């Protein structure tokens, strides 16, 4: 025998238990939410289950196979629940509790003896392949939604383990396993599957932690580039999105609208800053309703805003500015001083113009609109 399977299972047990205790300590620190507890309990149960299975013939079959497989099945389900909880997906506890109960009941009733080793191994392997496929689907959905590169890595790892479980099930059904003790005689391929699974147990946990770290980093970056009051991009976010636009559409014409709220100081002086904040939030909503998908809306500071309009002509930019004025004028709070919008427009090409130069031209157009009487769009 190339590998001692009992030793591999013992190593798996120790690995899962150590990972579980570390994750449980992290959860108990209060810095992580419930998904960390799910992952911790999953690893602890997987470790206990593998440890019980290593007892083999030393304990009764009902205890070693029945209890060991039950702990492993529940641990596998908790891992799926933890991933779905991390992804913000529903978990349906009743449904997830029924699945391990049903599988365990079948194993105990029909495949708990040594003569049913093939059936038990095939059934549990298929069950874990299904769990891994469910995890792959959840992780891919999360990776697409939040643009997480580590999510795709994790999905690949779980995809590999799903294939390994399918191979293990096929070997069991084909009769390649021992009739009564998997640890005594097993084919070389099965030994390699067990050894690889032992290594992937740690790799999967590392990939999960990478995904947690990447999402945390992206959320910190998003907050650093977001205006706290309006939820729009701030100046840093605007320039980062412009750089991305330069890479994706360097030769496309870009229109820029510079927007200033007329009489905003009078609103603050007359009605207070709370009313001023409400006006700024109202503009943000109006801007989001008036722009298209792919347009970039940002707050530069104070009552100044910018809209970047990719692949947009000057005429279309002016039309959008007028539409924005009408949208902003509706549903305003009832104030004695009603703010309006002065808008300056310009166009350029990301491959030839810097954002600073286009903002300067749009700002000059904005002041022409103000000198002409405010509440208008100027080019």
Domain CATH number, residue 259:
3.30.70.270
Q: Is residue 171 part of a domain?
A: yes
Determine the pLDDT at residue 352.
84
C-alpha torsion angle, residues 281, 286, 292, 293 (rounded to 10) = 30
Residues 91 and 19 reside in one and the same domain: yes
Q: Is residue 68 part of a domain?
A: yes
Residues 171 and 266 reside in one and the same domain: no
By C-alpha distance, which of 358, 364, 360, 366 is closest to 342? 366
Boundary-marking domain end, from 224, 256, 273: 224
Do 346 and 361 contact (CB within 8 A), yes or no?
Answer: yes
Q: How far is CA 237 from the centre of its chain?
A: 20
Residues 206 and 286 reside in one and the same domain: no
Structure tokens at 113: 């003896």
Domain that holds residue 273: 235-372
What is the Cα–Cα distance from 223 to 220, expressed in whole angstroms? Answer: 5
Residues 180 and 132 reside in one and the same domain: yes
What is the Cα–Cα distance from 342 to 376, expressed in whole angstroms? Answer: 5
What is the Cα–Cα distance from 156 to 149, expressed in whole angstroms? Answer: 11
Q: Are strands 340-348 and 254-262 parallel, antiparallel or unpaired?
A: antiparallel
User: CB burial class (10 A; 0-12, 13-18, 19+) of residue 123?
Assistant: buried
What is the pTM (predicted TM-score) of this model?
Answer: 0.74
CA 336 vs CA 23, 261, 289, 333, 340: distances in Å: 58, 15, 25, 10, 13
Residues 34 and 158 reside in one and the same domain: yes
SS3 187: coil
Q: Is residue 289 part of a domain?
A: yes
Residues 215 and 241 reside in one and the same domain: no
Residues 173 and 125 reside in one and the same domain: yes
Do 260 and 371 contact (CB within 8 A), yes or no?
Answer: no
What is the Cα–Cα distance from 192 to 199, expressed in whole angstroms? Answer: 11
Structural domain count of the chain: 2
Residues 189 and 111 reside in one and the same domain: yes
User: CB burial class (10 A; 0-12, 13-18, 19+) of residue 253?
Assistant: middle
Residue 174: how many CB atoms within 10 A of its CB?
A: 11
Helices (H), 175-304: 188-224, 235-248, 264-271, 273-290
Give helix then strand counts, H and E, for the chain.
13, 5
Residues 71 and 132 reside in one and the same domain: yes
What is the Cα–Cα distance from 100 to 88, expressed in whole angstroms? Answer: 22
Q: How far apart are the first and last CA of the chain?
A: 81
Determine the pLDDT at residue 222.
85
Q: How far is CA 209 from the centre of its chain?
A: 13
Residues 248 and 295 reside in one and the same domain: yes
The ranges of the chain with pLDDT < 50 are none
Q: Are strands 340-348 and 377-378 parallel, antiparallel or unpaired?
A: parallel
Contacts (Cβ under 8 Å, ≥6 apart) of 328: 282, 283, 286, 340, 341
Determine the pLDDT at residue 113.
55
Residue 241: how many CB atoms within 10 A of its CB?
A: 17
Boundary-marking domain end, from 224, 244, 277: 224
Do 103 and 131 contact (CB within 8 A), yes or no?
Answer: no
Q: Report the half-sphere exposure of 79 (CA within 13 A, side-chain side).
A: 30
Q: Is residue 377 part of a domain?
A: no
Residues 92 and 42 reside in one and the same domain: yes
């Amino acid at each position: 025998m190339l590998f001692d399977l009992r030793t591999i299972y013992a190593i798996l047990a120790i690995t899962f238990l150590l990972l579980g205790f570390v994750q449980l300590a992290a959860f108990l620190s209060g810095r992580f939410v419930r998904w960390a507890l799910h992952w911790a309990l999953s690893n602890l149960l997987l470790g206990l289950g593998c440890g019980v299975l290593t007892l083999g013939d030393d304990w009764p079959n009902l205890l070693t196979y029945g209890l060991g497989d039950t702990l492993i099945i529940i641990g596998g389900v908790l891992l799926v629940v933890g991933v779905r909880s991390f992804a913000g997906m529903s978990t349906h506890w009743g449904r997830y509790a029924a699945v391990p109960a049903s599988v365990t009941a079948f194993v105990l009733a029909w495949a708990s003896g040594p003569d049913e080793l093939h059936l038990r191994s095939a059934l549990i392997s298929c069950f874990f392949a299904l769990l891994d496929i469910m995890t792959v689907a959840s992780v891919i959905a999360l990776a697409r939604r939040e643009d997480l590169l580590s999510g795709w890595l994790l999905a690949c790892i779980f995809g590999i383990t799903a294939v390994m479980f399918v191979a293990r099930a096929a070997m069991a059904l084909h009769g390649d396993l021992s009739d009564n003790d998997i640890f005594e005689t097993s084919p070389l391929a099965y030994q390699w599957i067990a050894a690889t699974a032992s290594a992937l147990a740690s790799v999967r946990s590392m990939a999960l932690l990478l995904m947690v770290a990447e999402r945390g980093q992206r959320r910190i970056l998003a907050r650093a580039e977001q205006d706290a009051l309006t939820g729009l991009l701030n100046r840093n976010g605007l320039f980062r999105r412009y750089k991305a636009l330069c890479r994706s559409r360097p030769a496309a014409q870009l229109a820029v609208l510079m927007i200033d709220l007329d009489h905003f100081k009078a609103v603050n002086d007359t009605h207070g800053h709370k009313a001023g904040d409400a006006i700024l939030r109202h503009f943000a909503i109006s801007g989001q309703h008036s722009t298209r998908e792919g347009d970039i809306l940002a707050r530069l500071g104070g009552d100044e805003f910018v809209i970047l309009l990719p692949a947009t002509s000057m005429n279309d930019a002016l039309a959008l500015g007028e539409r924005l004025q009408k949208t902003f004028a509706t549903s305003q709070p009832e104030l004695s001083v009603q703010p309006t919008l002065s808008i300056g427009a310009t166009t350029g090409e990301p491959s030839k113009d810097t954002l600073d130069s286009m903002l300067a031209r749009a700002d000059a157009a904005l002041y022409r609109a103000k000198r002409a009487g405010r509440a208008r769009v100027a080019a």
